[in-house]
Amino acid sequence: LKMALEPRKYCIVANWKCNGTTDFVRDIVNNLINDLEFDQSKLDLIVLPGLLHINLAKARINDNVMIGSQNVSAFPGNVDNYTGEVSAQQLADYEIEWVLIGHNERRRHYNESQEHINQKVEQAREANLGLIYCVGENLEQRESEMTYDIINQQLGSIKEILDKTQWRRVIIAYEPIWALNTGKIASADQTQEAVELIRAWLKDNCSDEVSKQTRILYGGPVTESNTENLIKLKDVDGFLVGSTSCKPVFRSIFDMILAQANRDLK
């Protein structure tokens, strides 16, 4: 008999973005992050500090919390001269476990093309880093009913780089870019529709196993008021939390997700 696949663990990624000082890092690690108690068999907590703060966070954070990087070079280290870059090999050497790639702010503010993002994925894969890979459509694309086309393009591009075993080290974050700083809100139904589409894409283009095992996070605005409804959705496995993860309210958001994980994963 074929063994049943293990249920997906829940996951919370705290993206501190370009926030904080050394005092902030000491304070949030000591008084919030290290105070969170959870069963690692049910939930992963991944913190993405700013690059300058990775060392400090890594030294102080509890062993049950994983550290990732908000960015990675698209170019290999030790090969050529890339001033100011941090290579995937350097992150791996420093025992960083995850890297965020394809975030909408990198795509928009730094004009990162899909080709450039693919190079980052390739570097991260070769260094055996876990990927937190962002996909999502903007308002114009959504109103033109291009959601599937955009997600198909964004996922299809990295499918050429990853083999089926490497999807185990991929977390997908759905960012409803149309609901970021636009005054619009992604409802539970709209969110489920998008993540269901992603899971169906994984089944059709990778395998049923990859579809069932890959975790999909909600990467839109996360608040106390929408967390409880969104985490109940059958295809949402957690959240990519932005600047809210730097605030005391993050504890409440964490507790709601943990409660759902404890209910689901006995």
For 130-139, give one letter per residue: b (16+ CB within 10 A) or e: bbbbbbbbbe
Taking only the tens of pLDDT, the chain with its 266 residues reads: 333 467 899 999 999 999 999 999 999 999 999 999 999 999 999 999 999 999 999 999 999 999 999 999 999 877 778 899 999 999 999 999 999 999 999 999 999 999 999 999 999 999 999 999 999 999 899 999 999 999 999 999 999 899 888 999 999 999 999 988 777 788 999 999 999 999 999 999 999 999 999 999 999 989 999 999 999 999 999 999 999 999 999 999 999 999 999 999 87
Measured CA to CA, the distance from residue 156 to residue 150 in angstroms comes to 10
Cα angle 186, 187, 193; round to 5: 90
Q: What dihedral angle (degrees, nearest 10) is formed by the CA atoms of 212, 215, 221, 222?
A: 100
Give the 3-state secondary structure of residue 47: strand
Asked about 228 being catalytic, the answer comes back as: no
Q: Which of 175, 209, 224, 228 is catalytic?
A: 175
Query: Which residues, in sequence order, are CB contacts of 257 under 8 Å at separation 6+?
Result: 10, 12, 43, 227, 231, 238, 239
Asked about 6 being catalytic, the answer comes back as: no
Measured CA to CA, the distance from residue 148 to residue 175 in angstroms comes to 13
State the residue for tokens 């050529």. Answer: 80
Dihedral pair phi/psi, residue 107, rounded to 5°? -65, -40
The β-bridge partners of 217 are: 173
Structure tokens at 245: 């993860």
Q: Which of 103, 112, 122, 196 is catalytic?
A: 103
